[in-house]
């Protein structure tokens, strides 16, 4: 029995556009946060560090790192929603 090979999906150029919007949103909100709050967010979300390791770097308890990450992500979602509405 011959298996059909599915056609490749078309390249989604909106992915690059979404990526650019995400970077723009991050640029806009970054000044709203203390440096160590932003670094805790970045090190856990982007770099994949544990909350304990990121906290040790920036001088925060692991629980405070989780709170920092939550606040930044909440604000980032708000900003992205605003940019997408435009």
**28-69 pLDDT, tens digit each:** 999 999 999 999 999 999 999 999 999 999 999 999 999 999
Nearest to 51 by CA among 62, 59, 60, 43: 62
| Distance between CA atoms of residues 28 and 83, nearest Å | 11
Cβ–Cβ < 8 Å for 30, 55: no
H-helix or E-strand containing 2?
Answer: none
Give pLDDT tens digits for 8-20: 555 455 677 888 8
Nearest to 49 by CA among 30, 69, 32, 23: 69
What's the pTM value of the predicted model, to 2 decimals?
0.78
pLDDT band at residue 4 using 50, 70 and 90 as cut-offs: low
């Amino acid at each position: 029995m011959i298996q059909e090979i599915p056609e490749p999906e078309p390249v989604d150029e909106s992915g690059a556009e979404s990526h650019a919007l995400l970077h723009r949103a991050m640029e806009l909100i970054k000044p709203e946060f203390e440096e160590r709050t932003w670094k805790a967010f970045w090190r856990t979300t982007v770099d994949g560090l544990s909350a304990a390791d990121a906290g040790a770097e920036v001088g925060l308890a692991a629980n405070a790192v989780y709170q920092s990450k939550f606040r930044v992500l909440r604000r980032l979602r708000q900003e992205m929603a605003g940019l997408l509405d435009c």
